[in-house]
Structures are given as structure tokens and as C-alpha cells.
Homo-oligomer: A and B are copies of this chain.
Amino acid sequence: MVVAPWPAPRRFQRMNADHAPGQERSKVPQGLRHVDFSHGDVNAFPPPPEVIDAVTAALRDGGRYAYSPYRGHHFIRELVAQRLSTFTGAPIDPASEVIITPGTQGGLFLALSALVEHGDKVAVVAPDYFANRKIVEYLEATPVPVELAYRTAAGEPARLDMDGLRAAFADGARLLVFSNPNNPTGAVYTAEDIEAIAALAAEFNAFVIVDQLYSRQIFDERPFTHLRAHTRERCLTLIGPSKTESVSGCRVGVAVAPAAIVDRMEQLQGIVSLRAAGYMQAALEPWFAESEGWLDQRIAAHARIRDDLHAVFSASSAVSTRLTEGGSYLFLDVPAAKGRIDEFVAKLRTEAAVTVTRGPEFGDFPESVRLNFSQDHQAAVDAARRIVQVAERL
């Protein structure tokens, strides 16, 4: 007997989550090395060896690590609070202002769930990480797009549409969520824009969630401005040893926020997942304490891949992109793909052995794809050339 599936709750119907980025499965051609640009390659860029050692030791230790308070082991929160106070330039109380989450994705879900009421308007940057919009929709609130002008001339910074943000707040949005560096474009917000966001949040009594997952990997000695240094009491910061450090397989993230918001997130964590894996919380112990030079080398290696990909893409008139300022993403515009982005992505897969994430995941970007270039250097460059060939044949 086949039973008709129960209808999806209305929450699901809203969020349009049919496309799971990076989950596409189709045949890739023989003879080419498949490059999966939908996420980083941890063989090319493994975690710091101290992370493997710390988690392995925790597994052997057992009792001390297996269970933790829902908000995470107190000894881990103390380490994290101290290091992130220094990094972000504003103090953090380890007992009340930090929660360890199952990945920063888990933190984002808890954060938005703790702050968004049905029917709320929520300012969401376009383009930005796909889950910002989807979680807002899942919570039956309405995303209000605020444009990030990233298609700027070489050397010119991307700028957030501050008039658009003001209009969203004036129209009743009480919350802004965004990533810095921006995912998918790799743009780093200017100090001026971060200060303006803090000022607008204060003016309209609004709150801001900022996803700083990539904020340790900033290129060209560019300055990075931490929002929480300008508005601790209106700011929730998400960060974790994931992307730059290749620790995604551990699924540990950190949220820093005012105590009342952390309390609420912990209540929700008690029913969503209980806690981040006890043993995996040990992955935070070597974070910000990697061996001398480790981070500099990692940033330099990524900058070299970035530069080579940028050169490949800049040499073709069929595509265009922007030099990544932070993180490992680049957002590639393919004008000929407009209106048939799924076809282009499928061709990349079947003709070029390349997996990318489609632009429409990040907002109204029907001619773009996102690449994570934390890959084997030569394989990434070869794959970029094949992308250009497919784009030129469109």
C-alpha cells in the first residue's frame, strides 16, 4: 500500500528549498578531474594538525567532553570569549554572551528563530548566503532585499545601499542579516558602511546578525571592521573554525550576542539539537592558536589561487567577476546564461566536470554562479579554463 505523502506544512511551501546547493548529482565526463567548487577541498587544504589532535584527544578522554551544557563546555567558552574579545575589539562574557552551536549554520538557524516573529520584515542583503533568505521564509517572515553594489570598478569597494537599508527599517524591518566578507562575492564591507549600519540600527532600534565566518581570511592586508565593536548591544556575531581553517567536518560554530538573546538560543538548542557534538567542541581549543605563520601561509596560498582564477576569467569577454577581498568565494557573471542558468550549470557538470552553485540561490542573480576556490591550485585553474570554454559556447 502506498500512502500519499502528508502535505508539507506552510513553512516549507514558502521557502522554496528545492535546490540544495552542492547536492546536485549527475554524470561527469571521463578523463577530466572533477572539481567541486560548491565547497572547499579539505584534502587540498586540511585542518590545522592541532585540530585533529585536539578532537582525537577529546574522544579518548571521553567523560570530560562527551556531554556539555547546551551552550557548550564552559572551558571552551572561556577560551573562545577571550580570543574573540581580542579579535573583534569588544569584550565578551564567557558565561552569558557565547553559545557553541552545531556549525555556524546551526547558529544562524537559532539566531533567526530567536529573533524573527511571523509576519516580520527582515532586511536581507542581495546577494548574500542562501540560508539567510530561506530561514526568514521558513519562519513565515518576509525578506526585504537590500542591494550590495559589488559590480564596481577595479579597486573600488562594494557598497551597501544605505538608502535601501534605511527604507527597510523605516518600513518596519527590525532586523538585518548579512555576511562579511560577503558570501558569494567575497566583498569586504568598508569601515564607513559598518559604522553606518550600526548607526541606522540604533536610530531605528533594530538588531543586526552578522555572519563573519570568513573574517580571518582577508586578502591584501585590507582592514576588516567588526560590527560588534560599534554596537555590541544590537549585534549577534556568527563565526567558527570552518572555512579558512577547513574544520567544517566538525560542525562547530560560535555565536556572540547579548545575554538575553543567548539564553533564548540555548532554550531553542535544547529542542533542535541539544548541543554541538561534545567531542567536536575540542576543535575550538587550537582556534586562533595555530602554529606561528599557519594562517598567513593559508591566506597567501588562497590569494595565489584567487589571482590565477581572476586572470583566467578576466581574459574572456564571456564572463566577468570581481576580485575577492576576503574568504574563498568568487561570484562569476555569465551574461549569456541569463534565463538559462540551470542549463549552464548542467553543462558545466556534464561537459567540464565542474560543480558550481547557481546564482539564484543568493537572490535575483539569474546569470551568476558561485565558486569556492579553496581547491587544489592547478585543478582549480584547469577547471576555470573549462568554465570559460563552456561560457563562450553558450
Residue count of chain A within 8 Å CB distance of chain B: 79
Instruction: Find out whether the CB atom of A109 lies under 8 angstroms from the CB atom of B273.
Output: yes
Bound complex: CA A46 to CA B63 (Å): 8
Does A268 belong to the interface (CB within 8 Å)? yes
Instruction: Find out whether the CB atom of A17 lies under 8 angstroms from the CB atom of B277.
Output: no
Q: Pick the most buried of A42, A109, A273: most chain B CB atoms within 10 A of its CB.
A: A273
Does A113 belong to the interface (CB within 8 Å)? yes
Q: A174-B6, A249-B65 are in contact. Are A17 and B271 (CB under 8 A)?
A: yes
Residues in A73-112 with C-beta less than 8 Å from chain B: 102-103, 105-106, 109
Does A138 belong to the interface (CB within 8 Å)? yes
Instruction: Find out whether the CB atom of A12 lies under 8 angstroms from the CB atom of B131.
Output: no
Residues in A248-302 with C-beta less than 8 Å from chain B: 248-251, 258, 260-261, 264, 266-268, 270-280
Does A176 belong to the interface (CB within 8 Å)? no
Which residues of chain B are near A56, meaning CB under 8 Å?
56, 59
Residue-wise, chain A 45-58 has the 8 Å CB interface mask toward B (1 for contact) of 01100001001100
Binding-face segment, A115-123, A149-157, A159-167, A311-319? A115-123
Does A224 belong to the interface (CB within 8 Å)? no
Does A67 belong to the interface (CB within 8 Å)? yes
Instruction: Find out whether the CB atom of A9 lies under 8 angstroms from the CB atom of B251.
Output: no
Contact of A251 among B59, B114, B270, B276 (CB under 8 A): B276
Which residues of chain B are near A41, meaning CB under 8 Å?
63
Bound complex: CA A70 to CA B22 (Å): 9
Instruction: Find out whether the CB atom of A15 lies under 8 angstroms from the CB atom of B271.
Output: yes
Residue-wise, chain A 2-38 has the 8 Å CB interface mask toward B (1 for contact) of 1101111111100101101011000000000000000
In the complex formed, the residue of B with least CB distance to A20 is: B270
Residues of A that sit less than 8 Å from B by CB: 1-3, 5-12, 15, 17-18, 20, 22-23, 39, 41-43, 46-47, 52, 55-56, 59-60, 62-63, 65-67, 69-70, 102-103, 105-106, 109, 113-118, 131, 134-135, 138-139, 174, 205, 207, 233-234, 246, 248-251, 258, 260-261, 264, 266-268, 270-280
- Apart from A65-B249, A251-B274, list 5 A-B contacts with CB within 8 A: A8-B114, A9-B118, A10-B118, A42-B62, A52-B59
